[in-house]
Amino acid sequence: MNTSLKAHIAVLFTNIFFAANFSLVKYISPALVGPYGLNIIRVGVSLCLFWLVWSFGKTGASIQKKHIPRFIICGLTGVAINQMLFIKGLTMTSTIHASMLMLCTPLLITLFAFWILKESVTIIKVAGLLLGIGGAALLIMNKESTGTASLTGDLLIIMNAISYAFYFILVKPLMVIYHPLHIIRWVFTIGFIMILPFGWSQFDAINWSVFNLQDVAALLMIVFCGTFLAYSFNIYGIRHLGAGTTGSYIYTQPVFAALVAVFFLGEEMTIEKGLAGLLIFLGVFLVSRKQLAKTP
């Protein structure tokens, strides 16, 4: 299996985990854990796992002094702002609104990549983006919303998308110099320090005695799959596929969310949902076609 194919598979699983997180987070927070307290758990446990994995590989221990400011900004945009706004916004708005608004991310990534990294924007890429947006919009409009949306929650999700798009672009140059694991463990270390003052009181207030087996399983999924594995796979994708292609996979999240709803919640799979899924995957293919063609 070549590196490009492995990167595409990794990014695909990243978005499966992210899609599952929408429902899992709504299940856990704020009923059992406050949103900022959940961030302490997500980032803190993942941080320990990243350092544990690094201890076996020894991929590098330090950061060049000139790169420290970029690492700090990546920790701020990719972990602190991103995690806090996403979890808080998701608890204040509906899952459907959050999924729809997160589709701002690839558009922002493409825009920032063109502006900051001087990446080219071709007709094929634009067509792929439009197909992805169209398919995701069709899927979202066809799916019933069960939550109550708020303007504040929607705005927090949009701000989260902007922050995550900046992280995608800012972390890309570091990939040329550092190993992905080296980057992600320091980004999470910096991010954890930043979120600690905001989430400690909610973390300290958690009543662990009320957690049942299902609650613990959901929390483990959020931490291990939705955070540790998702970030690991995502940064691997950015390194080998580029920010634009990796970001375009966000279009698959509504598809996976719909599949979960069909098989586990008993929702109906319609022709419209199938067509939406086809448009989304076609859009991802068009956006990434040029990169795939270049891979030996």
Whole-number pLDDT of residue 74: 94
Half-sphere exposure at residue 233, Cβ-oriented, CA atoms within 13 angstroms: 23
232-245 pLDDT, tens digit per residue, is: 898 888 878 876 67
- Residue 48 CA to residue 71 CA, distance in Å, equals 18
Residues lower than pLDDT 50 in the chain? 144-147, 291-296
Q: What is the pTM of this model?
A: 0.74
Contact 181, 59 (CB under 8 A): yes
pLDDT confidence of residue 164: 82
What is the model's pLDDT at position 58? Answer: 62
Give the model's pLDDT for residue 261. 62
> Could you give the number of structural domains in the chain?
1
CA distance 76 to 73: 5
The predicted structure's pLDDT at residue 265? 53
Q: How far apart are CA 170 and CA 166, in angstroms?
A: 6
- pLDDT, position 147: 46
- Expressed as residue numbers, the domain containing 86 is 3-294
Quick one: CA dihedral 249, 255, 257, 260, positive or negative? Answer: negative
